[in-house]
């Protein structure tokens, strides 16, 4: 027979391509990534299984999530319940994936009071940082003397700081 080292590389068969399956898997990957990201931000240990409620954007999306809930549970360490028209539960952190809301129930996962204190401290630190960067950018001598790329870098730091501040405030509000 022919050696594998000299054999032709296999060509993909177009008939095997499934756009719907690819779209579904991309959606599920985004959802799992968001759940993991929120868990990480809140300091939920990977070993802990989190309860998650999902407010699907449509009945079709709800069915996709239901059919793949064991995959989500295994890869994101969750227990998922899904439906359409689910309200945001109290003491939950959320994310949105393509119009579908994901709520991670925090009761019993983390110490809510400690997390609120941590967020308040972090918000104060980020506010201080944003004011420093704004002060630097509003200083005319800095704006005139500094190289353009340094000034642009400071503007990007300011935007990142403001975005971070917004997310921290949203997280704090979701705990209240």
- In the chain, the domains with their CATH numbers are 14-105 (3.30.2320), 112-175 (1.10.287)
**What pLDDT was estimated at residue 79?**
95
What pLDDT, on a 0 to 100 scale, did the predictor assign at position 116? 85
pLDDT the model gives residue 169: 87
- CA–CA dist 62, 51 (Å, integer): 17
For residue 7, what pLDDT is reported?
82
Counting as low any pLDDT under 50, the low residues of the chain are none
d(CA 174, CA 93): 6
pLDDT for the residue 26: 96
Regarding pTM above 0.85, the answer is: no
What are the tens digits of pLDDT across the range 29-55? Answer: 999 999 999 888 888 888 999 999 999
Report the C-alpha gap between 11 and 174 in whole angstroms: 50
What is the b/e burial string over 103-124, where b = at least 16 CB atoms within 10 angstroms of the residue's CB?
bbbbeebbeeeebeebbeeebe
């Amino acid at each position: 027979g022919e050696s594998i080292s000299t054999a032709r590389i296999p060509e993909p068969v177009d008939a095997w391509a499934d756009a719907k399956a690819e779209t579904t898997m991309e959606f599920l990957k985004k959802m799992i990534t968001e759940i993991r990201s929120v868990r990480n931000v809140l300091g939920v240990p990977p070993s802990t299984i989190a309860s998650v409620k999902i407010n699907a954007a449509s009945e079709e999306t709800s069915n996709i999530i239901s059919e793949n809930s064991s995959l989500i549970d295994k890869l994101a360490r969750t227990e998922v319940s899904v439906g359409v028209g689910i309200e945001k539960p109290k003491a939950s952190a959320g994310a949105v994936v393509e119009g579908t809301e994901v709520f991670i129930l925090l009761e019993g996962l983390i110490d809510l009071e400690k997390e609120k204190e941590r967020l308040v401290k972090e918000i104060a630190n980020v506010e201080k940082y944003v004011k420093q960067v704004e002060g630097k950018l509003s200083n005319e001598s800095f704006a005139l003397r500094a190289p353009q790329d340094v000034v642009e870098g400071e503007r990007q730091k300011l935007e990142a700081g403001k975005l971070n501040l917004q997310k921290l405030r949203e997280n704090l509000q979701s705990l209240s």
